[in-house]
Structure 1
């Protein structure tokens, strides 16, 4: 492939899979577009096609991640119900990550569209800071603003149940947890 030659169709999608499988961090669509000499929008379409083929790719605020089958020790997963103002979103996420908990997603029940969810995938304060910055940068709206009262759910994962319990205790103390 020459420097400015586009990688076409199926060959490009196979290159995307191989690149994402080898990546050690999320890869932005812009970066994948530069790799294959196509626009970010073409990459978005390719990722949609790959997801339709059941490739385990998720979109995060940092870019695309290939979700490898896990051969790691069992992780604990739980859904936690929260309520807070948009101004408390960073505090909420920091409480989770400070207790060793990864926030996978956020879900709400919308009065028109039903269940809506978005991937978050934050595991540390740096991830949280980047997520909050991106929301601000694009004048984004937190999903909780689309609800009556700000109630939303997070799917969280941790190495052990105690980490999740500690996060719940801290959220309760901050008046964010809905019991």
Structure 2
């Protein structure tokens, strides 16, 4: 068998990515997928985009890619805070049992801007905040005077009430 015969087609590679994500209990990084498939990380990122464009619900977490849990209920919460309060706001959500799926702002020029987060634990928040600081980045909410929304996943209606209550207590829930 020649070396050319061993190379996977793009379609086969995407099938393998789909299979890996559907059987993995943990997020799988693009680097890990690239090593398994013998391609570049950028090729995997492109394949993920094609899979998403074809309807596969793939989410990016701080730890890699995974398939979206479509049975978890979600709510969109409007929040407002200063940048130095972001970690506290997010920590309140996850400690009340929520998953911070994303952050969205309404920008006057670009319209809706959304960033996937998938923050589930305080460790995820610490990792996110560490990367933000290391990269000298800015929060999307800084573009809109602190006003933003989070799509938050939860398990029970009582859990959602607790998430809203802790955000209200911290002064982060934007309700007026």
> Residues 17 and 33 of structure 2 are in contact (CA less than 8 Å); yes or no, is this contact kept in structure 1?
yes
Aligned length: 172
For the 8 Å contact 1:6–1:36, the answer to whether it is kept is no
Per the TM alignment, residue 24 of structure 1 is displaced from its structure 2 partner at its CA by: 1.0
Determine which of 147, 162, 166 is the counterpart of 1:166: 162
Distance 1:178 1:69 in 2: 27
The TM-score, its normalising length taken from structure 1, stands at 0.87
CA distance in 2, matches of 1:134, 1:22: 29
Q: State yes or no: 1:104 paired with 2:105.
A: no
Equivalent position of 2:173 in the other structure:
177
* Structure-1 residue corresponding to 2:18: 17
Structure 1 stretches of 4+ with a deviation exceeding 4 A read none
Native 8 Å contact 1:76 1:161 kept in 2: no
Partner of 1:30: 31
Deviations 1:106-165 (A, max 9, x none): 111011110111111112212222222232333332111121x11000111211122222
Partner of 2:26: helix, strand, or coil?
coil
TM-superposed CA distance for 1:6, in Å, is 5.1
Q: Taking structure 2 as the reference length, what is the TM-score of the superposition?
A: 0.89
- 2:90 counterpart SS class: helix
Q: Which runs of 5 or more residues in structure 2 are unaligned?
A: none
Instruction: Give a deviation string over 1:3-25, Cα, whole Å, max 9, x none.
Output: xx654311111111111111111
Aligned counterpart, 1:53? 54
Deviation of 1:168 after TM superposition, in Å, equals: 1.7
Q: Report the secondary structure of 1:45's partner residue.
A: helix
91 and 145 in structure 1: CA distance in 2 versus 1, 3 angstrom threshold: same
Q: Which has the higher helix share?
A: 2
Matches within 5 A, 1:16-165: 16-67=17-68, 70=71, 75-147=72-144, 149-165=145-161
